[in-house]
Structure 1
Amino acid sequence: MARTVIIGIPGEAGLWLADLNAGTVKPLNPTGDLATANDLRKAGGTLVKEVDFAVAVSSAQVALSGHFDG
């Protein structure tokens, strides 16, 4: 099972690499096919692969409170 996730959010051009084992999130400079996919994302596309739940929240406090506005 994958334990590393690449994240991109609307309004932010860059991607982030979240390593769940290390508990870290770092900026990622995409190259190759990943850069191509990021260009599509920046143009409004959405790519989801091997992720079954993802929600953007306004803060960690909102997430920790259990609030979900679906």
Structure 2
Amino acid sequence: MAEVVVFGIAGEDHLWLADLKAGTVTRIDPPKQGALADADTLRKSGCTVVKTVNLAAAASSADAVFGGYMDG
């Protein structure tokens, strides 16, 4: 099972690292080279990049998530 997940939010320039084991989320500097940098460039141009994640959804608040609601 994955220990960490890197994600970006549409409209934001930076990426986030969620450490699933530690239960933390940390803002990370944009990668300068390699596959993650390539994926970041693609997402900034409007593409969606997914690898071994089978659900990702934005919500307006944690309460909305616990209530079963997902934005658009």
Taking structure 1 as the reference length, what is the TM-score of the superposition? 0.87
Q: Deviations over 1:7-31 (max 9, x none)?
A: 1111111000000100000011123
Alignment equivalent of 1:56, drawn from 40, 51, 58: 58
* Unmatched runs of 5 consecutive residues or more in structure 2: none
Taking structure 2 as the reference length, what is the TM-score of the superposition? 0.85
* Unmatched runs of 5 consecutive residues or more in structure 1: none
Identity of aligned residues (%): 53
1:32 counterpart residue number? 33
Change beyond 3 A, Cα 1:68–1:37: closer
Judge conservation of contact 2:58–2:70 (CA < 8 Å) in 1.
no
Counterparts of 2:3 and 2:20, CA distance in 1:
5
Aligned pairs for 1:9-24 within 5 A: 9-24=9-24
- The Cα RMSD (Å) is 1.4
Counterparts of 1:67 and 1:38, CA distance in 2:
28
Which secondary structure state, in structure 1, belongs to the residue aligned with residue 18 of structure 2? strand
Equivalenced residues, count: 70
